[in-house]
Amino acid sequence: MRRTLPALALCVALLSSSAAVQAAPEPPPGKTFPYGWHPRQTLTVYGDGGPALLILHGGSWVRDTDWSGWARWFAGQGFTVYDTDYRLATDAAWPAQRDDVLAALRWVERRLGERPLVLGSSAGGHLALSAGAYGAGGTRVRGVVALSPVASPYRAWVDGGRPAASSAQRGLRRAARLLAGCSPDRGGQPCWNRWGDLAATSHASGPDDAPMLLAHSAGDFVPVAHSDELARSQGVLGMEDATVCVEPGAAHGGVLLKSPKLRRLVLGWLREHSA
């Protein structure tokens, strides 16, 4: 059975079996470790002893966003959380960001001897999917939750160039161009190759990749088409655990977690895939 369709019905089914959110004491302050030589190659650890969850922030690959609050919340729900930073597009062009995520995953696995779960938001969702669908992604990632993932930076570049594009979409178009280091309409074959490498679907390998829970809002400026395309590609290749959910409203990225229903769904999915 392809778990990619119908997405909304499947989300309802998952919600009905999700574990309840537990009230938990505030975890202690995080401790930061380097996983590489660059000042941004750090991760901050919250909690201890639970399943490993690596978090990748959004920010259109060009700015940091603060995920420490949610990192503490997930630690309070029983996870050992690795709130991970990475080089921005202003520091280095692609694939430096994917390289950083892969290095952070290796750091966590060496520390714990197990594959972590990964949660990414927006641009961080793109990086989470890039790690979970790169080579045999399931060998390094137990499962991926991606909130408003920019699964196809090229799609974001196209959408941001439309006359009716929002300011957020236009900004994402500029950021995607900076990440790639060239414009796809004038960069030649090497540039096209880089844009192709940026797309999570380019590396999809079906059941060899990590299971995926992909969520957008109906009015998200990163539309659900990003995740639908990836889920369809994974389904064709034989993956049976790629689920796309659509929330009402226009929330983006981490703001989606303010929905109690989606929060329960994400928490239940992570617990289910941590075994």
Distance between CA 42 and CA 227 in Å, rounded? 28
What predicted TM-score, i.e. pTM, was given to this entire model? 0.92
Its sign, for the CA torsion 77, 20, 245, 115, is positive
Closest CA to 91 of 157, 40, 127: 40
pLDDT at 125: 98
Report the candidate in 126, 130, 152, 149 with the shortest Cα–Cα distance to residue 141: 130
Res 5: pLDDT? 43
Per-residue pLDDT of the chain (275 residues; tens, 9 = 90+): 234 444 444 675 565 555 555 555 565 678 999 999 999 999 999 998 899 999 999 999 999 999 999 999 999 999 999 999 999 999 999 999 999 999 999 999 999 899 999 999 999 999 999 999 999 999 999 999 999 999 999 999 999 999 999 999 999 999 999 999 999 988 788 899 999 999 999 999 999 999 999 999 999 999 999 999 999 999 999 999 999 999 999 999 999 999 999 999 999 999 999 98
DSSP characters over 77-106: TT-EEEEE----TTT--TTHHHHHHHHHHH
Looking at residue 15, its pLDDT comes to: 54
For residue 180 the two structure tokens come to 């790639």
pLDDT at 265: 98
Neighbours of 29 (CB within 10 A): 10
Rounded to whole angstroms, the Cα distance separating 103 from 223 reads 29
What is the Cα 236 distance to its own chain's centre? 21
Q: What is the pLDDT of residue 186?
A: 83
Give the domains, in start order, of the chain with CATH numbers.
7-14+26-272 (3.40.50.1820)
Q: Extract the tokens encoding 218.
A: 């109906």
Residue 209 has φ and ψ, to the nearest 5°, of -90, 170
Measured in whole angstroms, the distance separating CA 162 from the mean position of its chain's CA atoms is: 25
pLDDT at residue 8 in the model:
47
| Residue 26: predicted pLDDT | 60
Using the CB atoms, write b or e for 76-114: b if 16+ within 10 Å: bbbbbbbbbbbbbbebbebbebbebbbebbebbbeeeee
- Judging by DSSP bridges, how do beta strands 80-84 and 42-46 pair with one another? antiparallel
pLDDT score at 49: 87
CA-to-CA distance for 258 and 44, rounded, in angstroms?
23
